[in-house]
Structure 1
Amino acid sequence: MSLSMKEAIYTRHTVRQYKKKAIPQPILDKLSKRIEQVNQTYNTKISLKCDQKDGLFLPLRYVIAKNATNYMILASDDRIRADENIGEASADLMLYAQTLGLNTWWIGGTWNHKKVKTQAQADHVIGILVFGYGETSGKPHPSKNSREVSLYEGKEPDWFRKGVDAALLAPTALNKQNFFLQGKGDEVSIHTKEAAFSLADQGIVRYFFELGAGKDNFKWIY
């Protein structure tokens, strides 16, 4: 029985080593269709690359990576909110891949920029999302607690707590979880500390929070 997107939040973990196992074409077709949908939704230009055996990583990554030959290029036109939208789109895709029985690895640095950017469909490329059948399912990353990353004014509703719990399971740069969620009534805002990938992190966390809280329960305040 396949996972729902919400269930995938709790089973998804970063995986860096993969089996030499081909991904069936029907699965790739589903991924391609999903990419088309998120590109329309978030105005991104993410693309799919499979069986790329050489030159993907800088030397450091080869120490910890294994059989990471399939990836999505996380790209967009260079515009306002581009990184945040790429974050939201990539969050959707990593969880969708999980529902298909695949594992993922969001990489913001140490990939071969020259190789990947020549394959991209837009000039603004911030990372890659590796996917495949992991040698393991990964393990949970160290996490802050909800009080460190959130504050609700008044009695905290159940939907806000569930949203924060989901947000804490989102991957962020260097697992720093440099975000803060604030709620009041049905309004929620998110802030991230300025750093590399902070806007992409914000998009990823927003997506996880929405799935956990339920979109109909609140609205974002910018």
Structure 2
Amino acid sequence: MTDLEAIERRVSRRAYRPEPLEPEQVQALELLARQCSRDAELNIRLVQDDPAAFRSLRRSYGMFSGVRHYFAMAGSSADLCLNEKVGYYGEKLVLEATKLGLGTCWVGGTFDRKRCAVQPAAGEELVCLIVAGKPATGEAAGKERLVYRLAHRSAKPVEQMYEAASQPPEWFLEGMWAVQKAPSGFNRQPVRFTWANGEATAQVPDYATHQSIDLGIAKLHFELAAERGQWGVGNGAAFRR
């Protein structure tokens, strides 16, 4: 499965089978977690067989069931771009998990931090968790779909997600196709892209909040679909080809 196929297939899942991950899945995910931690100066850990952080979430955040495995996404609390890096590199893990046949879901401020198996070190912040596991089937999956329909709005049309001073090139539009499919907090899709003076930029209204996680996720999706180029880090940063 390619990255673009994983983008197309990925959906947020809240109901899981309480089964262990396969050894080859663990190996691939831990390898990528180490690479992402090294590249972005993050502290990413794959936690297995630990349902404690999610025992109180069934009432507070849609419907989580069967959760046993997750990535703990942490980094330096002094890093002003920490949330964006977590979004960008965390979504790499999401797409890899999708390729491995696993379901995923980003979880921001609603998990039980005191019960989480990973506690941040001095000078670190635990930004969020990313659930990963084998998706539920049968009745549990049906309930999950119902909750999803009630809790999520439809994706914005691509045309509402960017503004352009002139006709954007095809690679920009390909990037926006992938951005439309990116997960975001409550599916609000706050990231705004701009094409002006031959340059693409991306920004969110409030970079100091979890919107910057959404920015990092959206930047990765755009980058993968545009095929060539790389985003700068920060709100309003440009895409270089």
After TM superposition, the score normalised by the length of structure 1 is 0.89
Residues 18-57 of structure 1 deviation map (CA, whole Å, 9 limit, x = unaligned):
1133211121011000001111122211111001133434
Within 5 Å, give how 1:203-222 maps onto structure 2: 203-216=216-229, 220=232, 222=237
CA distance in 2, matches of 1:166, 1:21: 31
Checking the alignment, whether the CA contact within 8 Å between 2:162 and 2:194 is kept in structure 1 is yes
Q: Deviations over 1:158-204 (max 9, x none)?
A: 11111011001111111101111012355211111227411111111
- Aligned length in residues: 219
What SS does the aligned partner of 1:47 have? strand
| Counterpart contact for 1:163–1:208, Cα < 8 Å | yes
Matches within 5 A, 1:106-145: 106-116=106-116, 118-120=118-120, 123-135=124-136, 142-145=154-157
- The one-letter code sitting in structure 1 at the alignment partner of 2:124 is D
Distance in 1 separating the partners of 2:197 and 2:67: 44
Return the offset for 1:103: 0.8
Q: Aligned equivalents of 2:49 and 2:90: distance in 1?
A: 20
Letter in 1 for 2:228: K
Name 1:102's counterpart in structure 2.
102
Unaligned runs of 5+ residues in structure 1 are none
Task: Give how far 1:11 is off.
Answer: 0.2
Note the residue ranges of structure 2 that are not aligned, 5 or more in a row.
none
Structure of higher RCO (CA pairs closer than 8 Å, 6+ residues apart) = 1
- Residue number among 146, 156, 176 corresponding to 2:188 in the alignment: 176
Residue-by-residue CA offset, 1:89-111 (whole Å, 9 max, x unaligned): 11100001101111101000210
Distance 1:40 1:215 in 2: 23
TM-score, structure 2 normalization: 0.83
* Partner residue, 1:81: 81
Identity of aligned residues (%): 24
What is the alpha-carbon root mean square deviation over aligned residues?
2.3
Residues 56-65 or 186-195, more deviating: 56-65
Equivalent position amino acid for 2:92 in 1: D
